[in-house]
A = this chain, B = another copy of it.
Amino acid sequence: MPRINAERLLSELRRFARFGAHKTGVHRPTYSAEDMESRRWLASQYEALGLDAHIDGVGNVFGMPRSPRRSLLIGSHAESQNHAGWLDGALGVIYGLEVARAFAETPDCAELPIAPVAWADEESHYITLLGSRSYVGDISEAEIANAVNVYHGQPLRDALKAAGLAGIPRRQAEPERHVGYLEAHIEQGDSLEATGKRIGIVTSIVGIWQYRIAFDGVQNHAGTTRMAIRKDAGVAAAMLAMAIAERFPQVAAERSVWTTGRITLEPGAPSIIPGRAEMLFQFRDADVSVLERMDVALRDLVEQTCARSGCSAEVERTATGRPWVMDQAFQEALEASAERHAPGMHVRMPSGASHDAQLVARKLRAAMLFVPSIGGISHHWTENTDDADLVLGCQVLADAAETILRTQGD
């Protein structure tokens, strides 16, 4: 049985959090200097394990075993949201490294090939799940050519060039080369903590549908334009946000969630009636028919808002992620391993968050493991997980990896 090195695991997690350290979290946007430094560091660690290490054309870092046997891909994404937590993504990446090290050090596991991986831009600085989408062939060169950073507008092509990735091929999935893919991640919610569980085995990952909604009204002077003749795009945006808050509970399912993450009024000055308002809106569910119902409701509410506000609107669906069910045999391996190390303290659960595993699952058998998030907090620099849970999660993953390679591998 592979024994992970708890001290090394915790120390490497903390070492990795120094790339872009921000308060007790990290600020490591995709392709930033800190992000690329962290990827080069990972490649050097993979290399030191005797793996064929390389960074591909979108920044995905692979440590490919030289063994002819099919390997188990293990990882997550290396970058962070802006000014966010130290474990989101990094946890699964460092678990992949630690499991590879533990296998290499365990005599009867050394011949079981582990391929650690770190994906790029799961966190949507340019394109949501860019690295894993690229890996499974779900992205076109045109989409890459048109993408810009959602915060500061830098073209993706320029960012890739600045990161030294221009001209490097994007590695494509090789189903014949891998037994499958495992990803560990913090839960990012409070349900493990609230029920006293320490390990979550993911049954399915929700689909996320994302929208850019723009209202066009008439920009004018905020003092001389009578209320009666205004077409205020900002009022239209607020109207839609409130209509969603009132209607969605009726069309959504029990576990559905929806969020307006950004509202931008143009020109944004105190004495000017906003002529344009843009909203970034998304919803999530594990059931496609529920997603479709919410789509219909949204479009209906936008139409009503236009009629009431006198503004016109454009609705663009920018992402249509489908829900994905995790591999049954892999789930069983994770569950058996969890039961060995933490009897009765594990649970099967859907993932409300999107993960690279849902993309990789299109080409490889895939499964995911969750560890608890303290207070359910994530996407914030105060995000954290108990050290004991960090260690337990990695050991459960390592054992499950052994089971999978022995029972499902060559």
Contact surface of A with B, Cβ cutoff 8 Å: 81-83, 123-124, 150-151, 187-190, 206, 208, 210, 219-227, 229, 232, 234-235, 237-239, 241-242, 245, 249, 255-265, 267-275, 280-282, 284, 351-354, 373, 376-380
CA distance A275 to B376 in the complex (A): 14
- Is A238's CB under 8 angstroms from B232's CB? no
Chain B CB within 10 Å, residue with most, of A241, A255, A264: A241
- Is A238's CB under 8 angstroms from B242's CB? yes
B residues near A261, Cβ cutoff 8 Å: 222, 234, 265, 268-274
Which residue of B262, B352, B377 contacts A269 across the interface (Cβ within 8 Å)?
B262
- Is A275's CB under 8 angstroms from B380's CB? yes
- Is B265's CB under 8 angstroms from A262's CB? yes
B residues near A83, Cβ cutoff 8 Å: 267
CA distance A270 to B249 in the complex (A): 20
CA distance A83 to B146 in the complex (A): 27
- Is B241's CB under 8 angstroms from A235's CB? yes
- Is A82's CB under 8 angstroms from B269's CB? yes
Nearest CB in chain B to that of A225: its residue: B189
CA distance A337 to B262 in the complex (A): 52
CA distance A259 to B260 in the complex (A): 21
CA distance A256 to B342 in the complex (A): 66
Q: How far is the CB of A239 from chain B (nearest CB, A)?
A: 6
B residues near A257, Cβ cutoff 8 Å: 222-223, 225-227
